[in-house]
Amino acid sequence: MNRLLFKRIKSLFIIFLVAFAFLVGRITHLQIIQGQKLAAMGEKIHSQFIQGEELPRGDIVDRNLVSLLDTGEREAAVIFPAIFEKEDAAKLSQILQLPIKKITDKLETAKNYYGNNPIIIKTNLVTSEIENLKKANLQGVYLIPIQSRYGPNSLAVHLVGHMGTIDQNTWEKLIPKNSELSGSKPYQRDDLIGVKGIEAIYEEYLRSTKASHYLQATVDALGRPLLGLGFSKIVNQSEINKRNKVVLTIDARIQNIVENVMDKHIAKGAIVVLDNSSGEIVAIASRPKFDQNQIDKYLNSNLRTEFLNRAFLHYFPGSVFKLLIAAAALEEGVTDLTEVFECTGEYQFESGLVIPCWYEEGHGKLTFAEALAHSCNPVFIEVGQRLGAEKIIEYAHRFKLDEDDLIGYPLENYSSINIDEQSPAAIGNAALGQKGIKLSPLQVTKMYATVANDGVYKIPRIVNRIETNQHRLIKAFLPGQDIQVISSKTAKELKKMLVMATTSGTATKAWIEKCGSAGKTSTAQTGEQSVAGKEKMNVWFAGFAPLDHPKYTVTIMIEDGTSGGRDAAPVFKEIMVQILDL
């Protein structure tokens, strides 16, 4: 072989050997050293991620750590922006009953901030929406199960509250706060925030920015999900562990009983159930109810009043307020259980003003104890005159009726007691729980619970604590200090009077055969006219059971009812029997 040719072959061999060695080294580097990183990059290119829950947020639970929200996975409409046809936005708007601007704004946000990742356009789809989406077969729109915060069986919606968009005033308050939250949980202008109830009060504890889990979709180069591969669930356990939950004093079992009974009997009104031994609210409900997933429906109509928590609103209490008059009268010694009065069917003041008894014929002769049981107006006007406005106001203060106190749930104080001290007629009306007296169902509950507790007032409590999902305590809400409001002797006498009401007076439909019950009815004037031209009446029952050791106090308030004995007392019995069966 020619020496020159051999030299050339040798040079080429060395070049190929060096090139091969370089390729082997490069392949080794890519596969072994950078293999995991490159594989992840490849997977990322062919993967898109969907937030697996509608609202990253901590839970609101009852005393036994049972969620009140009915959180669960439900069908949602999800858009893959890369392949969605913009002209289909109008069709989608019609199917989902959403403003077209809401859809286009979300698409624009996805394009600018989320790199065309899929976006959840609407959760909690109803059957008709699901069927219409399937028929329409819009490109880039998929039905995917997403965890919604509120379900159809959520409880205590007025107490829990709801989420909403950030209004301008709130946003201006959040701007300085955002600088403090930098790097942790800064707010975006289009975020949802707690705007009512527990959701709003404990926003800073409940809010999260990362989902509890994600759904991973495998897509092709055009961003289209590959059929047959479905969605993989990726759980973010560290996020779940560090979330907070608000633990209420509510008992979901009792709350469920109350709401089921309300849905049968009460269109408008409120019910409060309090555990006498602890002062804890174990159930609280208001009607009408609202859907936490369709807030816009109420904001843009005449249904805004459905947001009102009637358990905290103030009404004329009517005759349930006579308990306070009786307590003051017995404690001050201005009368006793056996004093005999005479009811002629009306009470006439020196000015000539006449206030009738609800029993037009008059009750005739009756003792003070019987007067409460039969809710005799003239007797209580007379006793109210003996007490005078100053004493009535003093005892209202003792029973904390001039305060809207509820541990864990700040309420605005309302001027519940406003009596003209110089007017006998004003004192007479106040003694009947009418003009000059306005109480909330919560306030009436704590008044009757004080009597059930032998004259000891306990500040009602509705939040127990805030803790992490790992049960690390963040904040505790301790019970308040007990206060002896009236003597135990007076409380026992009041109980006897309330038992007479349920056994032989106006509240016999509230009597519970097995364990007994005590309480008082009320049919309170409102000054408003119904459609039929008659005055609207709000009807009440407040009482407790069992008699030996009163466990629970329950207040029923029904707007536009007929009478407390006919409408409210049977509701008390139905609820109390079921609660005690637990």
> Comparing C-alpha atoms, which of 510, 363, 542 is closest to residue 444?
542
The pLDDT-based confidence of 349 (bands split at 50, 70, 90) is: very high
pLDDT tens digit sequence for 156-186:
999 999 998 888 888 887 777 766 665 566 7
Residue 43: per-residue pLDDT: 46
Average the pLDDT over 333-338 and give the result.
Answer: 97
Residue 42: per-residue pLDDT: 45
At residue 463, φ and ψ (nearest 5 deg) are -120, 130
pLDDT above 50: residue 438: yes
Residue 516: per-residue pLDDT: 97
Residue 186: per-residue pLDDT: 78
The segment with the largest mean pLDDT, out of 33-42, 255-264, 294-303, is 255-264
Query: Percent of the chain, pLDDT > 90?
Result: 67
State how far the alpha carbon of 172 is from the alpha carbons of 169, 175, 177, 178, in Å: 5, 5, 9, 10
Residue 298: per-residue pLDDT: 82
> Comparing C-alpha atoms, which of 430, 445, 452 is closest to residue 312?
445
- Local structure of residue 207 (DSSP, 8 states): B
Residue 190: per-residue pLDDT: 77
Q: Which is more confidently placed, 495 or 176?
A: 495
What does the alpha-carbon distance between residue 251 and residue 488 come to, in Å, rounded to a whole number? 29
Residue 473: per-residue pLDDT: 97
Residue 169: per-residue pLDDT: 83
Are 47 and 231 in contact, with CB atoms under 8 Å apart? no
Range name among 157-171, 434-448, 555-569 with the lowest pLDDT average: 157-171
The pLDDT-based confidence of 36 (bands split at 50, 70, 90) is: low
What does the alpha-carbon distance between residue 575 and residue 124 come to, in Å, rounded to a whole number? 31
pLDDT above 90: residue 220: no
Model confidence pTM above 0.85: yes
Task: Find tokens 């959840």 and name the residue.
Answer: 120
Are 268 and 567 in contact, with CB atoms under 8 Å apart? no
The pLDDT-based confidence of 188 (bands split at 50, 70, 90) is: confident
pLDDT above 70: residue 26: no
Burial of 83 (0-12, 13-18, 19+ CB in 10 A): middle
Residue 183: per-residue pLDDT: 54
Burial of 251 (0-12, 13-18, 19+ CB in 10 A): buried
Burial of 63 (0-12, 13-18, 19+ CB in 10 A): middle
The pLDDT-based confidence of 462 (bands split at 50, 70, 90) is: very high
Residue 5: per-residue pLDDT: 66
What does the alpha-carbon distance between residue 139 and residue 79 come to, in Å, rounded to a whole number? 9
Give the three-class secondary structure for 564: helix
First to last CA, the chain: 106
Count CB atoms within 10 A of the CB of residue 298: 16
Total residues belonging to the chain: 582
Nearest 10 degrees: CA dihedral of 58, 62, 67, 70? -120
What does the alpha-carbon distance between residue 426 and residue 164 come to, in Å, rounded to a whole number? 44
pLDDT tens digit sequence for 58-96:
999 999 999 999 999 999 999 888 888 888 889 999 999
In whole angstroms, what separates CA 355 from the centre of its chain? 40
Are 368 and 386 in contact, with CB atoms under 8 Å apart? no
The pLDDT-based confidence of 524 (bands split at 50, 70, 90) is: very high
Average the pLDDT over 229-245 and give the result.
Answer: 87
Residue 396: per-residue pLDDT: 97
Residue 309: per-residue pLDDT: 97
- Local structure of residue 486 (DSSP, 8 states): S
Residue 15: per-residue pLDDT: 73
- Joined together, the tokens standing for residue 347 give 């009470």
Residue 446: per-residue pLDDT: 98
- Local structure of residue 568 (DSSP, 8 states): I
* DSSP-assigned beta bridge partners for residue 525: 537
Average pLDDT over the chain reads 89
Give the three-class secondary structure for 50: strand
DSSP per residue over 271-326, as a string?
A: EEEEETTTTEEEEEEEES---TT-HHHHHTSTTGGGG--TTSS-B--GGGGHHHHH
The pairing of beta strand 346-348 with beta strand 456-457: unpaired
Residue 6: per-residue pLDDT: 65
- Joined together, the tokens standing for residue 307 give 């947001």
pLDDT above 60: residue 45: no
Are 460 and 274 in contact, with CB atoms under 8 Å apart? yes
pLDDT tens digit sequence for 401-425:
999 999 999 999 899 999 998 999 9
pLDDT tens digit sequence for 352-382:
999 999 999 999 999 999 999 999 999 999 9
What does the alpha-carbon distance between residue 49 and residue 343 come to, in Å, rounded to a whole number? 77
Residue 111: per-residue pLDDT: 66
Are 189 and 109 in contact, with CB atoms under 8 Å apart? no
Residue 209: per-residue pLDDT: 85
Q: Which is more confidently placed, 38 or 218?
A: 218
pLDDT above 70: residue 492: yes
pLDDT above 50: residue 214: yes
Those residues whose C-beta lies under 8 Å from the C-beta of residue 90, and which sit 6 or more positions away, are 100
pLDDT tens digit sequence for 265-297:
999 999 999 999 999 999 999 999 999 998 888
Query: What percentage of the chain's residues is helix, strand, coil (to nearest 5)?
Result: 40, 25, 35
